[in-house]
Chains A and B, each alone.
Chain A
Amino acid sequence: MKNNQKNRHVYWNPYFGGFLFGILILLTFYITGRGIGASGAMKSSVVTIVDTVAPTHAENNAYYSKFISDEKSPMNTWLVFEALGVLIGAFISGGLTGRISWRVQHSPKITSKRRLVFALGGGILFGLGAQIARGCTSGAALSGMAVLSTGGFITMLAIFGSAFAFAYFFRKNWI
């Protein structure tokens, strides 16, 4: 336990992590012919919830109806299973290093409440943006870049460019 406490903030060398991550993306393309993704599972969740609560509304909406079919549930997709794997994998890694605990992580200069408000707002924007760009940092930017997709590179530049440009306004939350 004491050893765990010491290791809590010791992470992998970023080049080692990045190398394995790159190999994983390569392997994913080699096996499935497509890349990885993360926001897709959340989109499937929304489609499923709306389709369950208000099926006619979902069918009439031009966006939800793209992902609804009579044969299978919108949750029965590759990206949803992959997201389940992400949760399990991160849980194993966090468990091995003693990082699992209920907490709100924030800078000591701000309150938990402020952190949660900004997390909610940031999530809403990211969810909205990921739909407009048809993918997030994993699905559009990283998987796109692995096959030299022009859209992938543009999305990557837009995400990081805009985050750097707006970083000044959110500095109190982080430093």
Chain B
Amino acid sequence: MGPLIPNGIIPQDWDSIIAILIGLVFGFVLEASGFSSSRKLAGIFYGYDFAVLKVFFTAAVVALIGMYYMDYLGYVDITQMYVHPTYLWGAIIGGVIMGIGFVAGGFCPGTSLCAVAIGKVDAIVYVIGIIIGVFIFSELFFLFQPIYEGYFMGNITLADSLGVNPYWFIFIFTLIAILSFVISDIIRKRNKKIFY
């Protein structure tokens, strides 16, 4: 029963090799979907290309449905999964800052790595920027510490915080995703095409 490595079904020694293989597929899929192009990525914010919305939401829905299905069928134990912890204000403030960085620079860290791999100079500069950003954060850690470590709510899920049944939530979330795909196609047809 999964997860395989924490439960000792695959030996720990394979960890790094599996990391490279997973990264390889990750990079291939992102690049093949066009995520190495900042102009394609930024399209979602101006309504001329919705690849980000479609890839991102499809991936989230597939992973979510798959995860709860595998838990239901007994292939994984969902309680053993690492749930990203919730630090309320860190998540909000960090997210807002990342959003400005996204629309200013046209990449997020994963997509910038893909663009670096195919020789985009703007992506190399972007990665240097990320490194400077991490450096600034670390050097001024005492300033950020209260929001970084405060407002901790545990490794909670939406089932805990909203008090909803996860299956119903996933069902409604899927409907929202499909609706957003339909609306995005309507918006894109209204906007003038941009070639890049």
Contacts and interface: CB of A to CB of B under 8 A. Distances in A.
Interface in B33-51: 33-34, 36-40, 42-43, 45-46, 48, 50-51
B179 interface: no
Interface residues of A, number: 122
A139 B37 CA distance: 21
29 contacts: A15-B54, A18-B55, A18-B57, A25-B63, A29-B3, A33-B5, A33-B81, A43-B134, A46-B131, A61-B139, A62-B141, A63-B141, A84-B20, A85-B22, A89-B117, A90-B30, A90-B117, A107-B39, A120-B126, A129-B94, A138-B108, A144-B83, A146-B63, A147-B67, A149-B86, A154-B92, A159-B95, A163-B99, A166-B100
A14 B63 contact: no
Contact of A125 (B42, B90, B91, B101): B101
B118 interface: yes
Interface of A: 9, 11-12, 14-15, 17-36, 38-39, 41-43, 45-47, 50, 61-64, 76, 78-79, 81-94, 97, 99-107, 115-116, 118-167, 170-171, 173-175
Interface of B: 2-6, 10, 15-16, 18-34, 36-40, 42-43, 45-46, 48, 50-51, 54-64, 66-67, 70, 75-76, 78, 80-88, 90-110, 112-123, 125-139, 141-142, 144-145, 147-148, 153, 155-161, 166, 169-170, 194, 196
Given A26-B67, A104-B122, A132 B23 contact: no
B29 A154 contact: no
B98 A24 contact: no
